[in-house]
Structure 1
Amino acid sequence: MSPKDTASSGKRSGGDGPFTPGRIAMILLAVLVLVFVFENTREVKIRLLIPEVTMPLYLALGGVAVIGAACGAYFMSRRNRRR
């Protein structure tokens, strides 16, 4: 067998499993966000342009996290389409 045959056959190494470094970092970041959100549970007043609403801080933080994740996913998908 040539080196090309042995290198292309068999299992691929180098982060193709379920726990890649990127996935581990995202899991840790998600856990940190959840800890931060649930540590901040008091009620706060938030001004949304004109109206002022009172809501638990964790709902406001969670909403902003969801909006941020959606924006990040949108821009990453646009970046991947251009390639």
Structure 2
Amino acid sequence: MSPKTSESGAKTGRKGSGRNPALTPGRIAVLVLAVLALIFIFQNTQETEIRLLIPVVTMPLWTALLGMGIIGALFGAYFMNRRR
């Protein structure tokens, strides 16, 4: 089969019915996981001591969890972009 063409004869590049739904199963799964991670983070609000190589820092646990989540998301996005 050849790609679909518009009335002017230009290729549209669409596959299938041409629909691009905003909520795909993958996007829904990521959204649910993000909400669950935020609930987990904000349920843990007590102060805790964290060792950063040498110094010991006292901070709310939610700050450390949120920071690690952001760092993990940045690493994941970086390596996904490198695969392409």
Q: TM-score range by the shorter chain?
A: 0.7 to 0.9
Deviation at 1:11, TM superposition (A): 4.2
**In structure 2, which of residues 31, 34, 39 is the aligned counterpart of residue 35 of structure 1?**
39
Higher helix residue share: 1
Q: Which amino acid aligns with 1:54?
A: T
Q: CA RMSD in A?
A: 2.1
Within the alignment, does 1:49 sit opposite 2:83 as a pair? no
- Please list every run of 5 or more consecutive structure 1 residues that lacks an aligned counterpart in the other structure: none
Work out the CA distance in 2 between the residues paired with 1:36 and 1:59: 12
- Please list every run of 5 or more consecutive structure 2 residues that lacks an aligned counterpart in the other structure: 5-13
Q: TM-score with structure 1 length normalisation?
A: 0.80
Identical-pair percentage: 56
Structure 1 residues 9 and 57: CA distance shift in structure 2, 3 A:
closer
2:24 is aligned to 20
**In structure 2, which of residues 66, 72, 81 is the aligned counterpart of residue 68 of structure 1?**
72
Equivalenced residues, count: 73
Q: TM-score with structure 2 length normalisation?
A: 0.79
SS of 1:53's partner is strand
Runs of 4+ in 1 over 3 A off after TM superposition: 8-11
Structure 1 residues 79 and 45: CA distance shift in structure 2, 3 A:
same
Work out the CA distance in 1 between the residues paired with 2:15 and 2:55: 63
